Chain A
Amino acid sequence: MSIKLNVLEHIMVPDHKIMSEEEIQHLYSLYHITSEQLPKIYHDDPAVKAIGAKVGDVIRIIRTSHTAGRAESFRLVVKRPKK
């Protein structure tokens, strides 16, 4: 079997997208934050690997929510620290 599972197509996996530099700058000014203050996601997260994001990229995650309809979240890709 050589068919690789694409996690992004799974119904439970929300939409992940790499953000452009302008979008990131807009995000930072919107919330008055630096990259330090963003939530993190590990570089070896299956969804991160699937969209090919590198350490330092910012990912936009769009989830469908029962109450809000659409909920956006942003995460900074970081290297997973060794245990």
Chain B
Amino acid sequence: MPSPKRIGKIEFGLLSPKEIRTMSVRKIIWADTYDDDGFPYPQGLMDLNLGVIDPGLRCKTCDQKASDCPGHFGHIELAKPVIHVGYTRLIRKLLRVTCRSCSRLLLSPEEIEKVVGTEDDLTGDVLSEKDIKKERVCPYCGEQQLKINFEKPTTFSEIIIEDGKKIEHKLTPADIRARLEKIPDEDLRHLGINPDVARPEWTVLTVLPVPPVTMRPSIILENGQRSEDDLTHKLVDIIRINQRFKENQDAGAPQLIIEDLWELLQYHVTTYLDNEVAGCPPARHRSGRPLKTLSQRLKGKDGRFRGSLSGKRVNFSARTVISPDPNLSVMEVGIPLAVANEMTLPVTVTPYNIEELRQMVRNGPVRRSLSQPCGANYVIRPDKRRMRLAEGNLETVAEMLEPGWVVERQIRDGDIVLFNRQPSLHRMSIMAHRVKVMDGRTFRLNPAVCPPYNADFDGDEMNLHIPQTEEARAEAAILVAVEENILSPRFGGPIIGGIHDHVSGIFMLTNQLKWHTKQEALYLLKNIEIEHLPPPGMVKDGVPYWSNKQIFSIVLPKELNMVFRASSCQNCETCKRQECDRDAYVRIIDGNLESGTIDKKAIGAFDGQIVNRIIRQYGMKRAADFIDDITHLAIRAIMMNGFSFGIDDEDLSKTEYGQIEEVLRNAITDVQRRIRIYEDGQLEAMPGRTPEETLEMQIMQVLGKARDRTGEIAGRHLGLGNSAVVMAVSGARGSMLNLTQMAGCVGQQSVRGERIMRGYDDRTLPHFRKGDRGAAAHGFISHSYKSGLNPTEFFFHAIGGREGLVDTAVRTSQSGYLQRRMINALQDLKVAYDGTVRTTGGRIIQFCYGEDGTDPMKSSFGDPVDVKGIVESILKEEV
């Protein structure tokens, strides 16, 4: 391998007219492409000297066939010079820093020395526009300088002040070119321009290169018509105008017409180079679509750089819709048989596996059912020749097989594959799963691995990749496997855990002490591998009973000790611990759930305290098994009673409706009272606020409290028998606020944290009086979603809802770009063996990774060691 080289410098230069003519193989003068026979015109845009795209023809320059000829440049001689849009800023700068008559830098040698330094002691700085004072006199020829005005896209003019009036004098590209030509080489060096490779006058084009036909091929449509590339279209325009310009010039046309044509030529050259310049209407195709010209080919996401050069495409990958399967392990992924039949991995034939592989070859490329063993799609001979296996050749190929050959066998259960969902924002967006070939047409995954992928099943698609080498498979199993990525390096806690029904189910199973018969216990434990039930916790009338906590404890490791508070904990002032009314005090002693409810805090993704502890104590593999067990148990638990939510779950009784109405009535009269105080000028403003702001705050507060009160009233009626309450309390989904809005009162709608104030003529809607400051007039919704909103409320709700949508839309695009920039800056950094963080060039970024050298994945929610957890697990009590 060649040793790495350091880049000394990069030189950026311009193409000189001379160079353009030298590299050109043909002067192009005709705007036409093909004649009636479909043969290219000589000296036309498709001239055979520029390369060939039609098969059968030979390039006139290199005499090669279409597939081998790389194409060659031609050129167009422009009638008059035009400005290159890409260099307008440079031209503006140069015009402003040089003299209008002698074209020398508008600085005396002493002034230059101040910035650039003396010849022996160069500062390395270059002159900029700022170093030159405005409208001064040339230190060399004494000429008074004029202000140079630049108008987008390509117009330059001088401003002459005559009798106090400003007169603009337009500079033609020819004038500009003449000025640039006169700038001495030495002055250009001071400006940071190397005149050997980039004379400034080359930014004003006198001759235009015509790209080879190979980079603007015409396509033949189905109806036999030729359709030219956008670049060809643009070049046609340029040649036509150029031709007309020349004719008019030779005929001695009036100055006005010449100027018009000049401008037109400038427009066409400008849009040829860049069709998205500010202040210039984009050139359009006949259909009205803007043309994709040179700059558009390079720029942006689908441009040459990001789209073609950095973009990677792969083989051995699959993509389809995902759907859930709670019976799978989190470490598995279900793959449709149709996909499994197409996807292969290479196995080298050895004396040890030759019979096995022969059988696979005999099985052939079609696996008809899940029970059939996997086959093979290709064999590769030692001479790298690939043979496709088909119905006819299976037996012969199987006999030919010898050590050294490679068989591409189909994937089967247990193979390791990479699974990915875009956007791949963190490393858990790609994880390695074990294959489980299944029926159907979708990829199946355990819902517990949704959080790291941020996946749901509303139509999401995911990608699958098959590692093709032994090293890749080993790396996938050791580093990328799901069971190695349960902990997130973002906060050092588990990111995989129970979601939705898992949390609701385990909550309903473990909340309060309940007793189950043997039948029930076995129903719950059906999907968990246990040899026999533990001894019953209670025998009543000769019937054995197992407690719900006992059943849960079966899936816990035997030596687990921990104490924590569940999601349902209300943070009461004095904690009653074991005697908690809500059963929120979780105590696990020696692998037995002594008290408390298991919910989101214990097993949920992002929180999962028990999962976290198992990882620390027993490792990731045990934790993955635990997650499998707990999800299976939870699904059985939720199935035991069923779990659903309907419209009548939001019903309250008459007393509650009366109370809610009273609370809201009182709040609205309170608001009116406060408005009256304000209008009487009696309202005392809070420090730093106007009386108006004070009133607004008070109103928001009163109405906010009123809504919360309705929530409390509704909550009193809806107990744990209500599914929404179970979900909110266990942390599975939703909150008590959502329930308040459904059953109680939706509450104040806001825009930017304030009541809705928009509208015309001192009111939000014509349904209210002008100047009305009341609750309803500014977006307070006193109805619930159940009772239904009235028209004005509905309108305010739409206003408030829109803000949320706009926020998310803006946030995702902004954070996406932020992430892209950050990744681009950090992608090549790595931790060296001495613990330092270095760039590929060996430059140190950090002397010790993260200043402390700890792996954030193995840290504990920001701390290097979870001291409290360790102490608690040894003392077996809360500290």
Contacts and interface: CB of A to CB of B under 8 A. Distances in A.
A74 B836 CA distance: 12
A1 interface: no
A11 B863 CA distance: 23
Interface in B845-870: 845-848, 850-854, 859, 862-864
A68 B853 contact: yes
B847 A74 contact: yes
Contacts of A36: 843
Contacts of A37: 838, 841-844
Given A31-B834, A31-B836, A82-B125, A68 B852 contact: yes
B852 to A, nearest CB: 3
A38 B125 contact: no
Nearest to A74: B847
B84 to A, nearest CB: 26
Contact of B852 (A32, A38, A71, A81): A71
B847 A63 contact: no
Contacts of A33: 842, 844
B864 A67 contact: yes
A43 to B, nearest CB: 14
Interface string A31-73: 1110011110000000000000000000000010111100111
Contacts of B836: 31
Contacts of B853: 68
A31 B843 contact: no
Contacts of A67: 850-852, 854, 859, 862-864
A65 B859 CA distance: 15
A71 B125 contact: no
A82 B853 CA distance: 36
A15 B852 CA distance: 18
A81 B123 CA distance: 10
A81 B128 CA distance: 14
B651 to A, nearest CB: 51
Contacts of B834: 31-32
B844 A71 contact: no
Contacts of B848: 68, 71
A65 B852 contact: yes
B386 to A, nearest CB: 47
Nearest to B846: A73
A31 B844 contact: yes
Contact of B847 (A32, A72, A81, A82): A72
B828 to A, nearest CB: 15
A72 B851 CA distance: 8
Nearest to B841: A37
A73 B842 contact: no
A81 B192 CA distance: 14
Contacts of A73: 846-847
A81 B125 CA distance: 8
A67 B852 CA distance: 6
A71 B848 CA distance: 8
A73 B850 CA distance: 11
A38 B851 contact: no
Contacts of A81: 124
Given A31-B834, A67-B864, A82-B125, A38 B844 contact: yes
B844 A39 contact: yes
Given A67-B852, A67-B864, A68-B852, A31 B125 contact: no
Interface in B114-169: 124-125
A22 to B, nearest CB: 18
Contacts of B124: 81
A71 B842 contact: no
A53 B553 CA distance: 65
B851 A31 contact: no
A33 B836 CA distance: 11
A33 B848 CA distance: 15
Contacts of A82: 125
A66 to B, nearest CB: 8
A79 to B, nearest CB: 9
B125 A39 contact: no
B42 to A, nearest CB: 53
Contacts of B847: 31, 71-74
A49 B852 CA distance: 28
A67 B841 CA distance: 29
B61 to A, nearest CB: 47
B7 to A, nearest CB: 14
A74 B850 CA distance: 15
Contacts of B851: 63, 65, 67-68, 71
Contacts of B854: 67
A74 to B, nearest CB: 7
Contacts of B845: 39
B50 to A, nearest CB: 44
Contacts of A65: 851-852
A12 to B, nearest CB: 16
Contacts of B125: 82
A67 B850 CA distance: 9
A72 B125 CA distance: 34
A33 B845 CA distance: 12
A27 B298 CA distance: 45
Nearest to B842: A37
Contacts of B852: 65, 67-68, 71
Nearest to B130: A83
Contacts of B862: 66-67
Contacts of B841: 37
B533 to A, nearest CB: 46
Nearest to A40: B843
A43 B125 CA distance: 16
Contacts of B838: 37
Contacts of A74: 847
A7 B196 CA distance: 48
B714 to A, nearest CB: 43
A72 B853 CA distance: 12
Interface in B176-202: none
A31 B848 CA distance: 11
Nearest to A70: B851
A37 B848 CA distance: 15
Nearest to B864: A67
B316 to A, nearest CB: 40
Nearest to B125: A82
B97 to A, nearest CB: 16
A38 B843 CA distance: 6
Contacts of B843: 36-39
Which of A31, A33, A63, A66: most chain B CB closer than 10 A? Answer: A31
B847 to A, nearest CB: 6
A38 B841 CA distance: 11
Interface string B821-848: 0000000000000101010011111111
A68 B836 CA distance: 15
A66 B862 CA distance: 9
Nearest to A68: B852
A35 B422 CA distance: 42
Nearest to A67: B852
A61 B836 CA distance: 16
Given A38-B844, A39-B843, A67-B854, 8 more contacts: A33-B842, A33-B844, A36-B843, A37-B844, A68-B848, A68-B852, A74-B847, A82-B125
17 contacts: A31-B836, A31-B847, A36-B843, A37-B841, A38-B843, A39-B845, A63-B851, A65-B851, A65-B852, A67-B854, A67-B863, A67-B864, A68-B848, A71-B847, A71-B848, A73-B847, A74-B847
Shortest Cβ-Cβ A-B pairs, 9 listed:
A68-B852, A71-B851, A67-B852, A37-B843, A82-B125, A65-B851, A68-B851, A67-B864, A37-B842
Interface of B: 124-125, 834, 836, 838, 841-848, 850-854, 859, 862-864
